[in-house]
A and B are shown apart, each in its own frame.
Chain A
Amino acid sequence: MFIIHQVIILTNVRCLKYHKRNLHTGFLKYAHYFIAMHGIKPETMTDYFQYPIDASALLRKKKAIRRDLLNRSDFIERRIAILGGSTTAEIRDMLELFLLHDGIKPVFYESDYNRYFEDIMFPDNGLKDFQPHIIFIHTTSVNITRFPALHENSEDVDRLLSSETGRFFSLWDRIATDYSCPVIQNNFELPHYRLLGNLDAYDIHGRSRFIGYLNLRFSEEARRRKNLFLNDINYLSAWFGLEHWHDRLFWYSFKYALSYDAIPFLANSVATIIKAIYGRTKKCLALDLDNTIWGGVIGDEGLQEIRIGKETPESEAYSEFQEYIKGLKERGIILAICSKNDEENAREGFMHQDNILSLEDFAVFRANWKPKHENIRDIANALNISMESVVFADDNPVEREIVRVQEPDVIVPELGSNVVKYIDILDKTGLFETITLSVDDLQRSLFYTGNNERKKQQECFENYGDFLRSLEMVAEIRPFSPVYLDRIAQLTNKTNQFNLTTRRYTLTEIQSITDNDHYITLYGRLSDKFGDNGLVSVMVGEKKRNELHINLWLMSCRVLKRGMESAMLDRFVAEAMTCGISHIVGYYFPTAKNGMVSGLFEEFGFQKVNSNKKDASIWRLDITDGYSLKNNFIQVNS
Chain B
Amino acid sequence: MIKEKIKNRITEVFKDVLDDDSIELFRETTAENIEAWDSLSHISIIVAIEKEFNIKFDLKDIMQLQNIGEFIDLIEQKIF
Give every chain A residue within 8 A of B62 (Cβ-Cβ).
Answer: 249, 253
Q: A64-B16, A64-B19, A67-B19 are in contact. Are A59 and B48 (CB under 8 A)?
A: yes
Flag whether A635 is at the interface (Cβ < 8 A). no
A499 to B9, CA, bound (A): 53
Flag whether A27 is at the interface (Cβ < 8 A). no
Q: A60-B48, A90-B44 are in contact. Are A249 and B59 (CB under 8 A)?
A: yes
**8 A Cβ contacts from B9-58 to A:** 13, 16-19, 40, 43-44, 47-48, 51, 58
**8 A Cβ contacts from B50-80 to A:** 51, 58-59, 62-63
Q: In the complex the two chains form, is A252's CB within 8 Å of B59's CB?
A: yes
A7 to B17, CA, bound (A): 47
Q: In the complex the two chains form, is B43's CB within 8 Å of A260's CB?
A: yes
Give every chain A residue within 8 A of B59 (Cβ-Cβ).
Answer: 249, 252-253
A73 to B48, CA, bound (A): 31
Give every chain B residue within 8 A of A613 (Cβ-Cβ).
Answer: none
A63 partner, pick from B17, B47, B58, beta carbons under 8 A: B17
Flag whether A151 is at the interface (Cβ < 8 A). no
A61, closest chain B residue (CB): B16
Once A and B bind, how many residue pairs between them come within 8 Å at the CB atom?
Answer: 35
Q: Is the interface on chain B under 10, 10 to 19, 20 to 34, or 35 or more residues? A: 10 to 19
Flag whether A76 is at the interface (Cβ < 8 A). no
Give every chain A residue within 8 A of B63 (Cβ-Cβ).
Answer: 253
Give every chain B residue within 8 A of A67 (Cβ-Cβ).
Answer: 19
B41, closest chain A residue (CB): A63
Give every chain A residue within 8 A of B48 (Cβ-Cβ).
Answer: 56, 59-60
A253 to B59, CA, bound (A): 7
A253 to B46, CA, bound (A): 12
A89 to B19, CA, bound (A): 18
Flag whether A254 is at the interface (Cβ < 8 A). yes
Q: In the complex the two chains form, is A60's CB within 8 Å of B16's CB?
A: yes
Q: A56-B51, A59-B48, A249-B59 are in contact. Are A254 and B17 (CB under 8 A)?
A: no
Give every chain A residue within 8 A of B18 (Cβ-Cβ).
Answer: 63
A254 partner, pick from B13, B16, B19, B43, beta carbons under 8 A: B43
Q: Give, as a whole number of angstroms, the nearest-CB distance from A88 to chain B.
A: 11
B44 partner, pick from A60, A249, A252, beta carbons under 8 A: A60
Q: Give, as a whole number of angstroms, the nearest-CB distance from A46 to chain B.
A: 14
A580 to B48, CA, bound (A): 68
Q: In the complex the two chains form, is A90's CB within 8 Å of B51's CB?
A: no
A387 to B16, CA, bound (A): 34
A254 to B13, CA, bound (A): 20
A60 to B49, CA, bound (A): 9
Q: In the complex the two chains form, is B19's CB within 8 Å of A59's CB?
A: no
Q: In the complex the two chains form, is B43's CB within 8 Å of A60's CB?
A: no
Q: In the complex the two chains form, is B17's CB within 8 Å of A60's CB?
A: yes
Give every chain B residue within 8 A of A64 (Cβ-Cβ).
Answer: 16, 19
Q: A90-B44, A260-B43 are in contact. Are A60 and B19 (CB under 8 A)?
A: no
A60 to B19, CA, bound (A): 9
Give every chain A residue within 8 A of B17 (Cβ-Cβ).
Answer: 60-61, 63
Give every chain A residue within 8 A of B51 (Cβ-Cβ).
Answer: 56, 60
Q: Give, as a whole number of angstroms, the nearest-CB distance from A91 to chain B.
A: 12
Give every chain B residue within 8 A of A59 (Cβ-Cβ).
Answer: 44, 47-48
The 10 closest A-B pairs by CB, nearest first: A63-B19, A60-B48, A260-B47, A60-B16, A64-B19, A253-B62, A89-B40, A61-B16, A56-B51, A249-B59
> Which A residues contact B (CB, under 8 angstroms)?
56, 59-64, 67, 89-90, 249, 252-254, 260
Known contacts A60-B51, A61-B17, A249-B62; 4 further A-B pairs (Cβ under 8 A): A60-B17, A60-B48, A249-B59, A252-B59
18 A-B pairs whose Cβ atoms sit less than 8 Å apart in the complex: A56-B51, A59-B44, A60-B16, A60-B44, A60-B51, A61-B17, A63-B17, A63-B18, A64-B19, A89-B40, A90-B40, A90-B43, A90-B44, A249-B59, A249-B62, A252-B59, A253-B63, A254-B43
